[in-house]
Amino acid sequence: MSAENVNFVKSMYEALERGEVPAVIDMMWPDLCWTPAEHSPYDTGRVFKGPDDIVHNVLVPVATEWEGFRIKTERFLDAGDTVIMEGRFSGTYKATGRTTNAQVVQIWEVREGKLAAFRQYTDTAELREVLGKTAGSPIF
């Protein structure tokens, strides 16, 4: 089942790359818990819960605030019901015109063929620089 989970998560990234957001949402459990990287641009201090919360607080802001934003997947690690993706974020932050190529690790929990939980770790210092923020200043 674990290789199946890796292929499932890979297919989610492929759908996201093609802009097929409804297909990605269909892959989510209704109560999917999404934990952004601490101190990242979309960290509000809480876990997002369910597709509507994730779309409103993550996908829409990324789509409107970034030009050419994408996730380049580099490696997938199979841990049974957990799939770990190592990769990079790239794109241009519209407000500053600065580009990024930040490291990212995303951890997915798969339950019964659906995305059940998400946790992210990324280079927040790189993202702060791209957003034009200094250390210690609020990200927003």
Q: How far is 51 from 116, CA to CA, in rounded Å?
A: 11
Beta strands across the sheet bearing 28-35: 48-49, 28-35, 114-122, 98-111, 82-93, 66-79
> pLDDT truncated to tens, each residue of the chain (140 aa)?
489 999 999 999 999 999 999 999 999 999 999 999 998 888 889 999 999 999 999 999 999 999 999 999 999 999 999 999 999 999 999 999 999 999 999 999 999 999 999 999 999 888 889 988 755 544 54
Q: How far is 101 from 56, CA to CA, in rounded Å?
A: 24
Interacting residues of 98 by C-beta distance below 8 A, sequence separation 6+ = 92, 129, 130, 131, 132
Q: How far is 36 from 133, CA to CA, in rounded Å?
A: 18
pLDDT of residue 134: 59
Domain boundaries, the chain: 2-131
**pLDDT tens figures, 40-76:** 888 889 999 999 999 999 999 999 999 999 999 999 9
CATH architecture for segment(s) 2-131? Roll (3.10)
